[in-house]
Amino acid sequence: MRIAAQHLYQFKLHSYSWRYLSMKNFDPSKTFSKPLELTNADCERWMKCLLARADKVGLHGEVPVSAVILDQKGHCIGRGSNRRSKEYDPLGHAEIIALKQASLIKKDWRFNTCTLIVTLEPCPMCAGALVQARMGQVIFGADDPKRGALGGTIDLAKHKSSHHKMEVIRGVMREEAKEQLDKWFKQRRRPSF
Q: Which of 37, 44, 95, 179 is catalytic?
A: 95
pTM: 0.81
Q: Is the pLDDT of residue 27 over 60?
A: no
Predicted pLDDT of residue 135: 96
**SS3 category, 190:** coil
Q: Is the pLDDT of residue 190 over 80?
A: no
Predicted pLDDT of residue 192: 59
pLDDT tens digits, one per residue of 105-123: 999 999 999 999 999 999 9
Share the mean pLDDT of the chain.
85
Q: How does DSSP assign 71-83, residue by residue?
A: -TTS-EEEEEE--
* CA gap 95, 161 in Å, rounded: 21
Query: Does the active-site annotation cover 175?
Result: no
Predicted pLDDT of residue 19: 41
Q: Lowest-confidence range among 18-22, 97-101, 133-137, 169-173?
A: 18-22
Helix or strand run (H / E) with residue 70: strand 66-70
